[in-house]
């Protein structure tokens, strides 16, 4: 293309010369114009040639390639490598080529590699490599792989990988290769990457498909591991069943204990929660009342401050207005003085005007001074109200709010205590009511069993109270301090065959309250087994018992 453009320029020059020679018969001015036009055409063609040359020699590098510029690229440098961007390739002294960054998949069917314990293993693997974009490694690729076919690059990398893989396997035993796969892979990556970097490649991925040996050693290791795992599993199952049975019993016991504890804790927690809720509600209400009072106080203070500022501003505006009026009147005085010079015929009127002007000036000055003093007085009053009265009002409000909060707190505490006492008595009353209802149900069933005899109910009630009555009878005599009782009895029987000892005992018992008298006072008829009352003996005046119970005949 460049030679073609050069030929075009030469032809254009020759045509210009021929045209210049053919124009000898024309005037000198016409020949000069044609020469100038030919020069311009030649310059344009030369510029076009260099433009095309620059465009064609500027080389851009795609993202999946490396641009290698070789030739004269600098001192002590064989080539210049670029990934991305572009550069200008000088014609005649430089040339360029590309290195592909596409991954290269290499199958490595390694067989019979000798391990550390002298057992040969088969390790078929797949390696993925590519030209690196690291500047140093990229320079190695430009020096050793430039313009080589992919198959040749793959064969070189495969030979390097096979040697390094055999070297790694020779440093490890079968057990290490089989168990510690991470160490095996790290050694492969390290050794293989270092070697292939020397020819400009980098390791992208390693895929070990399988590890086998001809002697069956790895398979035997697997069987042994499986057997050990089965035995351990059986032992662990037996231990787990034993622990499960023990744990189940312990869990049932813990469940019962924890359920009882949780129920007690739930009841206690509910009471504590109710108490905290009442305290929190009281505190929130007190805080709300305090906040409302604080907001009301702030609002009143702010309104007072804004009102004072508004009044001060109004007074300042009035003062400024009066000052401007005075200034305007002063300007008017100046105008009047000028008019006085022009109106020489009106001296008297001028004098009146001057006097009036002086009066107005003095009045304006007095009013301005008065306004200033009034504004200063109001400002001082506002300051005193802010600095002296406001803190006192704030302290007063604070004391009132604190007193109201304390009173409200005491009212709520008293109400809470009253509610607690009321709940306690209601619970006790409910319990007594349930006990009485149960007793009534029991008495009803006893009466139904006795054939609905009306005397059965009172009798049962009296029998139920007999222990208390006996207890009271015992208390009646337990306070008597009797150290010894001596009864002189000659052994002779008295009237009715009674001796002195029998009369003493019957008199002592007769002094105690009688069940029949209690039953008569209550309107209850005792059973026949307890005897009956005899009519009162009118001749009995010795202070003995007035009534005696007839003993039932046997």
Angle (CA) 293 299 305, round 5°:
135
CA separation for the pair 277, 456 (Å, rounded): 54
CA separation for the pair 179, 253 (Å, rounded): 46
CA separation for the pair 188, 226 (Å, rounded): 28
CATH 3.30.479.30 fits 96-215, yes or no: yes
pLDDT of residue 42: 82
pLDDT of residue 6: 47
How many Cα atoms are found within 13 Å in the side-chain-facing hemisphere of 189? 10
Contact at 8 Å (CB) between 134 and 192?
no
CA separation for the pair 290, 509 (Å, rounded): 77
Could you tell me where the DSSP H helices lie in 114-173? 135-144, 150-170
Secondary structure letter of residue 454 according to DSSP:
T
pLDDT of residue 504: 57
pLDDT of residue 516: 63
pLDDT of residue 548: 42
pLDDT of residue 480: 57
CA separation for the pair 220, 230 (Å, rounded): 15
Contacts of 208 (CB under 8 A, 6+ apart): 123, 124, 125, 181, 184, 185
Q: Which residue's entry shows tokens 């000052």?
A: 323
**Mean pLDDT, 10 residues at a time, over the chain (554 residues)?**
49 51 50 79 80 76 89 82 85 87 91 86 92 90 90 93 92 85 89 92 90 78 74 77 75 76 77 78 77 78 78 79 79 72 70 82 86 85 76 82 86 85 86 83 74 66 72 65 58 56 56 58 58 52 43 40
3-state secondary structure at position 23: coil
Contact at 8 Å (CB) between 36 and 51?
no
CA separation for the pair 147, 542 (Å, rounded): 156
């Amino acid at each position: 293309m460049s030679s073609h453009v050069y030929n075009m320029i030469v032809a254009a020059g020759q045509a210009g010369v021929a045209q210049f020679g053919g124009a000898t018969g024309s005037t000198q001015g016409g020949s000069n114009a044609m020469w100038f036009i030919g020069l311009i055409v030649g310059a344009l063609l030369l510029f076009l040639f260099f433009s095309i040359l620059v465009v064609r020699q500027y080389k851009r590098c795609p993202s999946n390639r490396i641009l290698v510029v070789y030739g004269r690229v600098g001192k002590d440098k064989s080539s210049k490598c670029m990934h991305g961007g572009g550069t200008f390739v000088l014609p005649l002294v430089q040339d360029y080529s590309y290195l592909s960054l596409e991954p290269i998949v290499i199958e490595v069917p390694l067989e019979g590699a000798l391990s550390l314990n002298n057992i040969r293993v088969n390790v078929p693997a797949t390696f993925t490599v590519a030209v690196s974009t690291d500047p140093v490694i990229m320079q190695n690729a430009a020096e050793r792989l430039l313009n080589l076919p992919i198959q040749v690059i793959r064969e070189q990398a495969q030979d390097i990988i096979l040697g390094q893989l055999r070297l790694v396997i020779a440093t490890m035993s079968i057990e290490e290769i089989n168990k510690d796969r991470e160490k095996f892979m790290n050694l492969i990556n390290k050794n293989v990457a270092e070697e292939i970097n020397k020819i400009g490649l980098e390791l992208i991925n390693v895929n070990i498909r399988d590890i086998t040996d001809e002697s069956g050693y790895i398979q035997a290791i697997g069987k042994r591991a499986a057997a050990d795992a089965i035995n351990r599993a059986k032992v662990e199952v037996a231990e787990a069943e034993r622990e499960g049975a023990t744990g189940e019993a312990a869990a049932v016991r813990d469940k019962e204990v924890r359920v009882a504890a949780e129920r007690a804790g739930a009841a206690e927690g509910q009471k504590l929660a109710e108490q905290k809720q009442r305290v929190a509600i009281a505190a929130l209400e007190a805080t709300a009342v305090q906040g409302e009072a604080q907001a009301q106080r702030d609002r009143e203070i702010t309104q007072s401050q804004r009102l004072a500022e508004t009044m001060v501003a109004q007074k300042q505006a009035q003062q400024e207005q009066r000052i401007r009026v005075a200034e305007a009147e002063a300007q008017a005085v100046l105008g009047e003085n000028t008019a006085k010079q022009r109106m020489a015929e009106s001296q008297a009127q001028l004098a009146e005007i001057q006097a009036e002007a002086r009066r107005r000036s003095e009045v304006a000055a007095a009013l301005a001074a008065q306004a200033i003093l009034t504004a200063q007085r109001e400002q001082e009053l506002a300051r005193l109200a802010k600095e002296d009265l406001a803190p006192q009002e704030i302290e007063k409000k604070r004391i009132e709010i604190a007193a109201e909060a304390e009173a409200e707190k005491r009212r709520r505490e008293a109400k809470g205590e009253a509610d607690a006492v009321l709940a306690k008595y209601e619970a006790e009353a409910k319990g007594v009511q349930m006990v009485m209802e149960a007793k009534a149900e029991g008495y009803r069933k006893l009466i139904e069993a006795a054939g609905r005899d009306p005397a059965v109910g009172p009798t049962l009630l009296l029998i139920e109270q007999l222990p208390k009555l006996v207890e009271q009878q015992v208390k009646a005599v337990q306070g008597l301090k009797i150290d010894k009782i001596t009864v002189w009895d000659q052994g002779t029987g008295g009237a009715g065959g009674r001796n002195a000892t029998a009369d003493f005992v019957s008199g002592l018992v007769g002094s105690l309250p009688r069940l029949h008298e209690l039953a008569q006072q209550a309107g209850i008829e005792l059973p026949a087994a307890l005897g009956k009352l005899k009519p009162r003996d009118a001749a009995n005046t010795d202070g003995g018992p007035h009534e005696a119970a007839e003993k039932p005949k046997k």
